[in-house]
Amino acid sequence: MRDRRRNLVLGGAGFSPSQVGASHWLLNSTESGDVTQWNSQFDSAHGTANAARAPTGLTGAGLDFDTNDCVNLPIQASTFNTTYLGYYFWCKPDAVATSQTLISISIGTGGASARVMVLMFSSAALICDVFVSGTAGRRATVTSQAAAGVSRLWGFEYNNDKVGEGNKLTLTRDGAVLSPSFSDVGVGGTLGSLVSATGDILIGNFNDGVTSNPLNGVIGRSLIAFNAPMSGATTGLLTTTARTQLLNFLPLT
């Protein structure tokens, strides 16, 4: 059977995420009202939202997260891997004065069975916590990254084949590799394979329930996941060319 992904080409001069090795691709087409399903283009693992916490679809098909909205994405082979893991998405925060969750694979209500990673804004800083065991892990911080009302493409790439935490974890903004500083979470530890987990990945919130550092802003219209490195990648999982292609693909305005 022909791979369905080859036929899914939108924008970006005929570009499809499958061309850069994407393992999962959520694409929203709802432009008004609640988005209770963020459709997967590769399989049936859609992002879903409780009607009480569903983001709102916008013209251009971004998802507007407001107050306590949350989208759940099932943990499976195409969305999660303990050796190689990556996510790319556009986000435009309404404000940058608080902590706001972008992606959480952790033990928040309705989330994962274990603490794995959390990507978030803390005021204007981009922060990524990667856990080693329990509450212990390492935090990567890049200051002065987010700006209220400004759309940017954010990237998280984890490649455990690399040596050293600064090489295992790659954070990007608008396709450019950032240079984070590292500090301990809890008692710290040494980064290795990501902690195994089941359950759901939470987008835009740490909890699918009681408010916990939710995002107030717009994500989308795509969220693209990776579970293997590209051929030719020297940093993280993707090549420089691939990051540029993602930057030019369905940008959020």
Query: Does position 14 have pLDDT exceeding 60, yes or no?
Result: yes
Range of the domain at 158: 20-247
- The pTM score is 0.94
Sequence-separated (6 or more) residues with CB below 8 Å from residue 205: 53, 65, 68, 69, 70, 101, 104, 108, 212, 213, 214, 215
Instruction: Decide if 104 is inside a domain.
Output: yes
How many domains does the structure of the chain reveal? Answer: 1
Instruction: Decide if 12 is inside a domain.
Output: no
pLDDT, mean over the chain: 94
Q: For 107-142, write each residue's pLDDT tens digit.
A: 999 999 999 999 999 999 999 999 999 999 999 999
Angle at CA 34, nearest 5°, toward 30 and 37? 65
Instruction: Decide if 6 is inside a domain.
Output: no
Instruction: Decide if 5 is inside a domain.
Output: no
Give the pLDDT confidence score for residue 5 in this predicted structure: 43
Q: For 149-195, write each residue's pLDDT tens digit.
A: 999 999 999 999 999 999 999 999 999 999 999 999 999 999 999 99
Q: Are 26 and 223 in contact (CB under 8 A)?
A: yes
Query: Does position 7 have pLDDT exceeding 80, yes or no?
Result: no
Q: For 25-72, write each residue's pLDDT tens digit.
A: 999 999 999 999 999 999 999 999 999 999 999 999 999 999 999 999
Instruction: Decide if 123 is inside a domain.
Output: yes
Instruction: Decide if 190 is inside a domain.
Output: yes
Instruction: Decide if 174 is inside a domain.
Output: yes
Instruction: Decide if 215 is inside a domain.
Output: yes
Question: Could you give the CA distance from residue 104 to residue 118 in angstroms, rounded to a whole number?
Answer: 4
CATH number of the domain that 169 lies in?
2.60.120.200
Q: Are 72 and 219 in contact (CB under 8 A)?
A: no
